[in-house]
Amino acid sequence: MTFDRSLKIAPSILAADFANFGAECAAVEAQGADWIHVDVMDGHFVPNISFGPATCAAIRPHIKGVMDVHLMIAPVDPYIDAFANAGADVITAHVEAGPHIHRTLQAIRGAGAKAGIALNPGTPVTAVEELLDVADLICVMTVNPGFGGQKFIDMTAKVRALRDMIGDRPIHIEIDGGVDPTTAPLVRAAGADVLVAGSAVFKGGTATNPAPYGENIREIRAAAE
């Protein structure tokens, strides 16, 4: 993974066909996805259960580019190696998920992955101020995590503050939640470079009819750029 601030669209497979993950990942990548975003939920940190390391390992051979694994779980540390071994390029933990986020980020890097920190809507940007030198990505949640298809919460001021704080450090700013052609331009203008989109990408298509995925991705990209 080489660092750049160009716009990247990262479809969330939480919105894909669960019975067909491999084909869905390949199809959405072929239609222009830059990264594949994998939402891991434990039914404890967030009120939903999704999938774990075995699913990541199973879809990894079907993903040519970056597998971006977002851990909405607590605790995080006992599972880092399993997700790294499953082929995660980026592993993102929530700043709210444990008392020692700095150690968690060090452990993610130690396992050979890029280290991400996620911030819930109610968490101030100052929560990551002391972590910028051990982070490769900061994910600003624009919904409360746990479910797909939620309404966008405007966090552009937070994104702008974060962009200023990062300066010239090679840190991605990722947006997760309610991204579509209407909201994408707001967060891109504020300084985000990775846009996670679930239902906005996967609506209208299937793995066997993936053309709508491409149309949706192009529409989000054009709006943001």
Which is catalytic among the residues 39, 68, 136, 193? 39
Q: Active-site residue 42, yes or no?
A: no
Specify burial of residue 105 (Cβ count, 10 A radius: 0-12, 13-18, 19+). Answer: buried
Give the list of residues 6+ apart from residue 208 with CB closer than 8 angstroms, or none: 23
DSSP state of 132: G
Among 4, 5, 7, CA closest to 195:
7
DSSP state of 69: E
Which is catalytic among the residues 42, 89, 136, 176? 176
Secondary structure class of 71 (helix, strand, coil): strand
Locate 24 and state its tokens. 């869905």
Q: Active-site residue 164, yes or no?
A: no
Locate 32 and state its tokens. 């222009």
Q: How far is CA 38 from the centre of its chain?
A: 7
> CA–CA distance from 88 to each of 56, 129, 169, 215 (Å)?
7, 25, 22, 27
Among 69, 64, 72, CA closest to 85:
69
- The residues that are catalytic are 39, 176
